Structure 1
Amino acid sequence: MAHLVLLGIVYISFISLGLPDGILGVAWPAIRADMGQPLAAVGMITITMTVCSATSSFFAGAIVKRIGTGAVVATSCLMTALALVGFSYAPSFLWLVALGVPLGLGAGAVDASLNHFVAAHYSSRHMNWLHGFWGVGATTGPLIMGLALASRGGWESGARAIGFVQLTLAVVLWLTLSLWSQEHSKPPAEEGEHGKPTTFKPLRTRALWLAPLCFLLYVAAEMGTGLWAASILVGSRGMSPVNAGLWVSVYFGSITAGRFGVGLVANRLGNRRLIRLGIAVATVGALVFASHSLLGTASLAGLVLMGLGCAPVFPSMMHETVRRFPDDVARTVIGRQMTFAYIGGSVVPAAFGLLATWAGLAAVMPVVVVVLITMLALTATLDRLT
């Protein structure tokens, strides 16, 4: 029973990780209007958060050894909660940038420690579902922010509401710390998992860097779309901020639904097939969303397609790493993958902002299509090398 309760706590923790991820893109049109900032200024916040997330992820293993996974997750959730509440009272843009520090530190620590914990104690099916619960948070966050934008409280009330949700989750985590110390068993590997002996091809140096580069491109496409979709819908297609927020929620909701579905069939289809299929569907979705001038409102279906395509890619790529490389090499590659993922989630979307300033918001999605096509080609190369 304690095993199942702890699994529920782990899922709740990843919901808390996902809650803030989609709200900045939804709130940014209103924030920059209130604070008189240019379109690309959001990059200062995202880069700050990314540097802090990468730093806390790098040191998370050492910290977990000292105080335990439960304490790290509970403390990190509290940090993000206080940062979000602080967002709602920030008197200037520089305060938003500064609050990105605790928000990034908390998110990075939860991400690294929980991914390691689930990989060590649960099956690959639960790894896919873990990222599905991240999607629950990433879907709920923009929905809350969209409703707040429609109210008198504005984006401030949205950040405050999500901060209070995080505070509630932090209390739950602190009250259940004893459960983490009781989890010592590791379920047997399921059919199709890496518990069975694997024959590796001779290592190629290119493969050691191609795998992380694929993570950079994937996260750039997924998070870049999540960050700029609302601005595209409001700024170049005339949609209201409330409706734009709802469509961003639909996008993240599609990722969530897809990941729960993938968890049921992942062992049967295999990681590599899921990765290729997911990238292909996401590419079609991005192309449809970019084709507003041809398809009109039907182009919104592209966000659903792209979300469904994105669903299996990140968990499957992470799980496939231990199949591509021997264990000692895989640990190094996974570290590189997380670092490159954070770069892809911050620097590239920030560059999209510069692109939008120079060429217009309509230029963002065609670039996302190019990123996904490039990733598909690199993935095929990586499959041949490993």
Structure 2
Amino acid sequence: MRLINKVALVHLALLSIIYLAFVSLGLPDGALGVAWPAMRLDLNQPLAAVGLLTITLTLCSALSAWVSPAVLKKLGTGPVVMISGFLTGLALLGFSMAPSLGWLLALAVPLGLGAGAVDAGLNHFVSAHYSSRHMNWLHGCWGIGATLGPLIMGAALATQGWQQGYQTIAWLQLSLLLVLLLSLSLWKRESAKPSPELQIKAMAARLKPVFTTATWLAPLAFLLYLAAEAGTGLWAASILVNSRGTPAATAALWVAFFFGAITAGRFGAGLVAGRLGNRRLIRLGILVAMVGAVVFAVPALPEPLSLAGLMLMGLGCAPIYPSMMHETARRFPPELSAKVIGRQVALSYVGVAGVPAACGLLAAYAGLALVMPALVLVLLGLLLVTEQLNRLT
């Protein structure tokens, strides 16, 4: 009994560290958008220059995630997360002292590389060793970090400036390094024992052919999902303000509620994930998100109903990413799942960067009214891809 309690305690301790690491991963994500209006004035840059930063961050994160399987196999998850946390912490500290855009672009390279490695590494580790409940809660922790980051930056802007905001976020990330260093033995112990459920399903997966098509359909699903989520997050405020006359402050609040619905929905989905299963949660989430997106896309509806559609879309989005990620280790045997997860995280960054930008071109040439219908089609494509993936695996 004492041995069982000790094993459970180790399991819980490592899970807590993983949650903290994902909160830390989310901290910088929303901070740049809040800080940039002040940063660009201090650095004498145009508003559009932030695009160069986001492209650099996205490309480096995607590259890091793509090569992560080989790095994780060589070093192990614990050391990779620790090294990556050190890179991102130093890069953010450098952001607080950067005298020009050139320095910011140079620092965006280690920041992106570190973020991509942590994202892929922790997703693979939790997928292999923990339940779908914990995968949903893991991504809920990212939402906590993504919410805290703008709050920290906003408080700094109101007092000492954006430099102090980045310093605070940097020191929060660097303070996690000591915890990661002390926990390295826990990572090794946990890595030695995949979950019994995973062992059974991995053996079953080896008994049937794993189609090459499936190893690319799974990453495509992540591209489509992130396209829908990021596209809505980026353009919902513009749709509300420019097409429907909503005050800017109100529009910003409802977009925050959209992301809040995703975060709260992930913690809620974790409570029912064991009963419903990943595939059912994915299907249900896509259908709910599509209904919400369709409601929000109709301009003639009363504002409360339209905004309810936006919240419904957020709740539908909540379980899709973590459930798809957790299911990867059950669709593919271990020798393939790490490679597929690396591809999934890499194409997620492509979806975040590419499709919202394409929506901007659509809005410029055909009007903002067509952005949400286009994202409804993206969600429909996601449903078709995931159903085909279910048939292949």
* 1:307 to 2:314 alignment: yes
* 1:37 to 2:46 alignment: yes
Which of 117, 120, 132 in structure 2 is aligned with 1:112? 120
Map 1:56-67; keep pairs closer than 5 Å: 56-67=64-75
1:210 alignment partner in structure 2? 217
Q: Is the 8 A contact 1:138 1:249 kept in 2?
A: no
1:170 alignment partner in structure 2? 177
| Unpaired runs of at least 5, structure 1 | none
2:57 alignment partner in structure 1? 49
* 1:274 to 2:310 alignment: no
Pairwise CA distance, 1:26: 4.6
Alpha-carbon spacing, 1:31–1:291, altered in 2? closer, same or farther (3 Å): farther
Q: Is the 8 A contact 2:69 2:338 kept in 1?
A: no
* In 2: Cα distance, 1:317 partner to 1:24 partner: 28
* 1:285 to 2:292 alignment: yes
Q: Is the 8 A contact 2:128 2:198 kept in 1?
A: no
Pairwise CA distance, 1:119: 3.1
Which of 15, 25, 28 in structure 2 is aligned with 1:7? 15
Cα deviation 1:44-83 (Å, max 9, x = unaligned): 2222112211222234344445544333212222322333
* 1:79 to 2:79 alignment: no
1:338 alignment partner in structure 2? 345
* In 2: Cα distance, 1:70 partner to 1:116 partner: 12
Alpha-carbon spacing, 1:122–1:24, altered in 2? closer, same or farther (3 Å): same
Q: Quick check: 100-109 or 337-346, which moved more?
A: 337-346
1:265 alignment partner in structure 2? 272
Specify the code of the residue in structure 1 equivalent to 2:64: S
Q: Is the 8 A contact 1:50 1:343 kept in 2?
A: yes
Pairwise CA distance, 1:264: 2.2
* In 2: Cα distance, 1:231 partner to 1:104 partner: 27
* In 2: Cα distance, 1:228 partner to 1:147 partner: 25
| Unpaired runs of at least 5, structure 2 | 1-8
Alpha-carbon spacing, 1:66–1:254, altered in 2? closer, same or farther (3 Å): same
* 1:295 to 2:302 alignment: yes
Q: Is the 8 A contact 1:200 1:324 kept in 2?
A: no
Specify the code of the residue in structure 1 equivalent to 2:307: L
* In 1: Cα distance, 2:75 partner to 2:337 partner: 25
Q: Secondary structure at the match of 2:302?
A: helix
TM-score scaled by length of structure 1: 0.82
Pairwise CA distance, 1:19: 1.7
* In 1: Cα distance, 2:207 partner to 2:377 partner: 31
Q: Secondary structure at the match of 1:194?
A: helix
Q: Secondary structure at the match of 2:28?
A: coil
Pairwise CA distance, 1:33: 7.2
Cα deviation 1:74-93 (Å, max 9, x = unaligned): 22223223333433444444
Alpha-carbon spacing, 1:229–1:92, altered in 2? closer, same or farther (3 Å): farther
How well do the aligned residues superpose, as a CA RMSD in angstroms?
3.5
Pairwise CA distance, 1:276: 1.4
* In 1: Cα distance, 2:102 partner to 2:159 partner: 24
Specify the code of the residue in structure 1 equivalent to 2:54: T
1:122 alignment partner in structure 2? 130
| Percent identity (aligned) | 62
Would you say how many aligned residue pairs link Structure 1 and Structure 2?
Answer: 383
2:5 alignment partner in structure 1? none
Which of 11, 25, 31 in structure 2 is aligned with 1:17? 25
* In 2: Cα distance, 1:230 partner to 1:65 partner: 42
Map 1:172-187; keep pairs closer than 5 Å: 172-183=179-190, 186=193
2:384 alignment partner in structure 1? 377
